[in-house]
Chain A
């Protein structure tokens, strides 16, 4: 009899304990919801504020007009073209270098002090304030290499900024691939390079792409390093087009052209006395946020669809 009572007591004690733990569980989920909710609301309010302020300017003309002293006619043509061209350079520099570095560090590098050193440096680079990259680029790219205040310089500068993000994302993605995938490939006689190219990189692609796009989304909003290397504020003509109608159909003159980017245009307008310019600034801000959201959305979509294709 007493044994059964003891058993019941025990059970009750456990039930109380479980109940308490479940309560903690719930409390934590409420805290989490509250934190994420307030962050999301803050972002949403800021974004809506920008959109509401900038709404009168959100039309095609805004995208096809050059900057002007007259706020009504001023647009962001040179700014968005500049941002786009700079991002193209950034993409073609940072992605091959970043992915290759990630693969090397994860697949090829021998573990040891040298790999550790690189690892620490990469992690550090990700935390360096962007203005430092700007100063580095001013000394190195603009003056030492003589690249001038050009799209090429800006692209290279932002690719420095993006590089650690791509490297870290690539390494994480590669690390998530189970070791037996590699072993299976080796077992049928694949070389290391074949394993990397045909399997590791294929399966890691979702994570790598996410890293690339998040890096690009960061680069598009960067202002400080671009100002430091000497981006312009007023420029009412476009760089030479990358594609021409005469052979060899591609020209690289645009790389040397002066430029401005979206955040600089926005910064200029927000500091002007006329209120009408502040509307332009809000509209530009909304455009930058929408671009960032779009890019992050694409990243999520790509990761999802690539993961779905993987059969293991």
Chain B
């Protein structure tokens, strides 16, 4: 008896929530990272074509996106890095709980000039030597990075400090978030970095795989030594089988848990997203997860498990399974 009453109560509350949210949010509002944007744009485009439900996507950056998300202005936030403790606190304050959903891989690609015939393979330690904060004002020539490298001035090109790409690179290579030398050419526009490296024999830079793939005729990628000691070129295959590490990173969307549970439009969108993320992310230059991984993500989402796997700060090289399993409020 009590349980039926509970059921009735619950369903009426749920339907009340549904009807108000349908009125309030006729549009599925998304904002956040510019890196994740192409995937979300592709999904939104197809979803809108198929269902007629309106979707908007903004590009405020991962941090700007979380600000809006934790104020309840958006229902989904694109993120090229995990949510930070400060941002979690803001969300908690506003009573917003979230579900962390990895959607695809991006491979950070280290690139060099076409005429650079010596640095086709580098180790993370050598990258740290070139990019670390200790290198500032000291390491200015390729021959300082490895013995046997020629006498050629080293010119570095990298994303600016607001970028999630920058965060991940520093965490993976320098092992300290946001710690890097100050004397390199920074730009938020990756095409500018491509131009820089393409025009400078001693140039080295890093950015997402898609920018390298589109500019293969202008720049070369560098094989990076993985934890098994092998030198691996970034590609669809090496990222998917996990051999390209430590520079491949997961991209996320964060769902407003209440909306994901009760708003049928958001539910439909997320389901559509996860069913098509593999195909569409590959189409726009990212590396999809495997089928089983997407199934696991789908189950994770359906179980409405809230929280993040990165509560204790950044972590490098987690598998999708580990990310899902570790998620805690």
Contacts and interface: CB of A to CB of B under 8 A. Distances in A.
Interface stretch (A14-22, A86-94, A173-181, A233-241): A233-241
Contacts of B165: none
B68 A230 contact: yes
Given A69-B38, A273-B285, A233 B213 contact: no
A310 to B, nearest CB: 49
Nearest to A148: B73
B190 interface: yes
B190 A271 contact: yes
21 contacts: A69-B280, A69-B283, A231-B58, A233-B41, A234-B37, A234-B40, A234-B45, A234-B55, A235-B56, A236-B44, A236-B45, A237-B48, A237-B54, A258-B27, A268-B37, A268-B59, A271-B34, A273-B190, A273-B191, A273-B208, A273-B214
Nearest to B37: A233
B54 A230 contact: no
A226 B278 CA distance: 33
Nearest to B54: A237
A134 to B, nearest CB: 13
Contacts, number: 69
Interface in A62-90: 66-69
Interface of A: 66-69, 149, 230-237, 258, 268, 270-275, 278
The 5 closest A-B pairs by CB, nearest first: A234-B57, A69-B42, A273-B214, A273-B210, A273-B211
Contact of A230 (B57, B58, B208, B285): B58
Contacts of B29: 258
B284 interface: yes
Nearest to B214: A273
B189 interface: yes
Most buried by A among B27, B40, B57: B57
A230 B29 CA distance: 12
A234 B214 contact: no
Contacts of B42: 69
Nearest to B191: A271
Contact of B58 (A67, A233, A237, A271): A233
A234 B210 contact: no
A234 to B, nearest CB: 4
Most buried by A among B29, B58, B68, B215: B58
B140 interface: no
Contacts of A271: 34, 188-191
B58 A232 contact: yes
B123 interface: no
B236 to A, nearest CB: 15
Contacts of B116: none
Given A67-B45, A233-B41, A273-B211, 18 more contacts: A68-B45, A69-B41, A232-B56, A232-B57, A233-B57, A234-B37, A234-B41, A234-B45, A234-B56, A235-B57, A236-B48, A236-B55, A237-B48, A258-B27, A258-B29, A273-B208, A273-B214, A274-B285
A274 B216 CA distance: 12
Most buried by B among A230, A270, A273: A273
A63 to B, nearest CB: 18
A258 B74 CA distance: 12
B60 interface: yes
Nearest to A233: B59
Most buried by A among B34, B56, B191: B56
A234 B68 contact: no
Contacts of A272: 38
Contact of B214 (A230, A235, A236, A275): A275
Contacts of B44: 234, 236
A253 to B, nearest CB: 11
Nearest to B34: A271
B266 to A, nearest CB: 17
Contacts of B60: 230
B278 to A, nearest CB: 15
A69 B284 contact: yes
Nearest to B209: A273
Given A69-B42, A234-B57, A273 B213 contact: yes
A234 B30 CA distance: 9
Most buried by A among B41, B283, B285: B41
B56 A258 contact: yes
Contacts of A268: 37, 59
Contacts of A234: 37, 40-41, 44-45, 55-58
Interface in B1-42: 27, 29, 31, 34, 37-38, 40-42
Contacts of B213: 273
Contacts of A231: 58
Contacts of B34: 271
A19 B45 CA distance: 72
Interface in B274-302: 280, 283-285
B14 to A, nearest CB: 27
Contacts of A258: 27, 29, 56
A235 B27 CA distance: 10
Contact of B41 (A67, A149, A237, A270): A67
A256 to B, nearest CB: 11
B317 to A, nearest CB: 25
Contacts of A275: 214
A237 B48 CA distance: 9
A303 B40 CA distance: 48
Contacts of B284: 69
Contacts of B41: 67, 69, 233-234
Nearest to B27: A258
A163 to B, nearest CB: 27
